[in-house]
């Protein structure tokens, strides 16, 4: 007779599993361990097969199971307990009531149970990754929509590929769809879409005179030591009292007649900084718009004529948020294709300025209400000092063993065996782990409420 499934726990935190091969257990699955001390819910972290052909594995105890609640603060050790797959009620108690949390999809292997994120735990930094074609950007849109529907957390979205510029456009849903109420809620949200080519009030502009001195120097590629004379001349140039017209800057520099001011004028001309369309002039700057606290502000960074303009926008916004951090006004900073702004390998003055500010926000911003959500295709493309500060992980399909090994090292709360399922994920499937889920969760993301901006271009057929 085949021995039944059993488990043991020495510390009440982790358990060892022994079960028949046909028990139906799987990595990430929830189980109920029952002994004389009561029932507890656990999650299987790893599974293997013994020489005798039985399933062996390890797992984490999530809490004691009551009639109507799961007490995650209590657990107990046991020498032996009977183990069975968690029923629907136990699963619901782990993941929360259907009406709570952010409804983002369904559990893998159990499509009748909704997958939810804990909205209040977005007060931690989040790392989101998946290779091209995994559905990463679409899934991120689902989560941002739910945050807009269910919270009053303002967000600014750095959008390099125009993936979120249609966040105000509703998708057509089937008649009677339960998501229709969410669409109605979205219609009431103040969503600003700022683009380089747009006319006021939706133009994406920056005010040069309000940049920090370091930011202004980065725009002009001035080093305070290497370019001592020019830097000093620039420090003493009074831009506030002069004309708001950028065309006045070079004449004013040349009128000073010093070697340093003339060299600085040449630098401005050679860099063609005054040709950029980014400068606000008499128009409203992006930092002024963010001070109005829209529910979401999408910054379309892909339409500029000069590559450095998008970096200037990022620098202006991040520096301004940091300068005002003592106000402790929460802001979710969403950076899509985060490697564009915080790669460890770029070394231009603007890249360095932006990256160092993001590192500072990652390290210290949480207590001021500045929370990052970084999305990228590969973790190795983002500076490690930023990734290491993230407490939430969203992983979609990723085939690189090196990237998965790096994620396992950084995010110890994500079971390795669950991470290793990532190469087999279908489009839209994901692993969520960390503070914003009750337990590491394998799920399939649901449908968007709004139109995705960056859909793939199809191959033309004859």
- CATH no., domain 102-106+112-206+278-445: 3.40.50.300
Q: What local confidence, expressed as pLDDT, does residue 97 receive?
A: 65
Q: What local confidence, expressed as pLDDT, does residue 98 receive?
A: 61
DSSP 445: E
DSSP 331: E
Q: What local confidence, expressed as pLDDT, does residue 240 receive?
A: 56
Q: What local confidence, expressed as pLDDT, does residue 1 receive?
A: 47
The answer to whether the beta carbons of residues 53 and 429 sit under 8 Å apart is: no
> What CA–CA distances, in Å, run from 409 to 207, 339, 396, 412, 427?
42, 20, 17, 6, 25
Q: What local confidence, expressed as pLDDT, does residue 241 receive?
A: 47
pLDDT-flagged residues of the chain (< 50): 1, 241-244
DSSP states along 60-95: EEEEEE-SS-EETT----EEEEEEEE--HHHHHHHH
d(CA 4, CA 74): 26
Nearest Cα to Cα of residue 164 among 155, 153, 172, 177: 155
Q: What local confidence, expressed as pLDDT, does residue 286 receive?
A: 96
Q: For residue 299, what are the contacts with CB-CB under 8 A and spacing of at least 6?
A: 156, 157, 158, 159, 194, 204, 286, 313, 317
50 exposed, middle or buried (CB, 10 Å; 0-12, 13-18, 19+)? exposed
């Amino acid at each position: 007779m085949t021995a039944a499934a059993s488990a043991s726990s020495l510390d009440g935190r982790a358990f060892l599993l022994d079960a028949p091969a046909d028990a139906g257990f799987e990595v990430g699955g929830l189980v109920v361990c029952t002994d004389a001390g009561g029932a507890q819910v656990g999650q299987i972290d790893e599974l293997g097969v013994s020489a005798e052909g039985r399933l062996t594995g390890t797992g984490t105890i999530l809490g004691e199971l009551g009639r109507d609640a799961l007490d995650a603060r209590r657990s107990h050790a046991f020498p032996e307990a009977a183990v069975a797959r968690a029923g629907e009620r136990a699963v619901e108690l782990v993941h929360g009531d259907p009406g709570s949390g952010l409804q983002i999809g369904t559990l893998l292997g159990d499509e009748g149970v909704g997958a939810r994120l804990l909205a209040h735990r977005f007060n931690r930094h989040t790392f989101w990754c998946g290779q091209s074609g995994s559905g990463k950007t679409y899934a991120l849109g689902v989560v941002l929509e739910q945050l807009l529907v269910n919270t009053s957390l303002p967000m600014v979205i750095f959008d390099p590929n125009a993936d979120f510029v249609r966040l105000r456009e509703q998708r057509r849903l089937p008649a009677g769809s339960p998501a229709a109420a969410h669409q109605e809620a979205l219609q009431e949200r103040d969503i600003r879409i700022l683009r380089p080519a747009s006319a006021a009030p939706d133009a994406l502009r920056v005010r040069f005179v309000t940049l920090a001195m370091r930011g202004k120097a980065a725009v002009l590629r001035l080093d305070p030591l290497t370019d001592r004379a020019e830097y000093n001349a620039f420090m003493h140039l009074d831009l506030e009292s002069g004309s708001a017209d950028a065309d006045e800057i070079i004449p004013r520099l040349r009128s000073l007649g010093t070697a340093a001011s003339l060299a600085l004028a040449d630098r401005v001309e050679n860099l063609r900084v005054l040709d950029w369309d980014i400068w606000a002039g008499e128009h409203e700057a992006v930092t002024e718009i963010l001070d109005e606290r829209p529910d979401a502000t999408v910054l379309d960074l892909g339409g500029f004529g000069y590559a450095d303009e998008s970096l200037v926008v990022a620098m202006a916004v991040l520096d301004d948020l940091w300068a005002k951090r003592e106000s402790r006004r929460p802001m979710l900073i969403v950076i899509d294709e985060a490697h564009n702004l915080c790669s460890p390998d770029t070394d231009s003055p603007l890249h360095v300025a932006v990256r160092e500010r993001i590192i500072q926000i990652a390290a210290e911003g949480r207590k001021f209400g500045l929370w990052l959500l970084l999305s990228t295709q590969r973790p190795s493309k983002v500076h490690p000092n930023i990734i290491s500060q993230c407490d939430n992980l969203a992983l979609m399909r990723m085939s690189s063993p090196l990237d998965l090994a790096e994620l396992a090292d950084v995010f110890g709360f994500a079971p390795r065996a669950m991470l290793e399922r990532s190469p087999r994920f279908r489009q839209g499937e994901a692993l969520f782990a960390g503070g914003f889920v009750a337990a590491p969760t394998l799920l399939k993301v649901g449908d968007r409420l709004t139109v995705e901006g960056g859909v793939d271009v199809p191959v033309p057929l004859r």
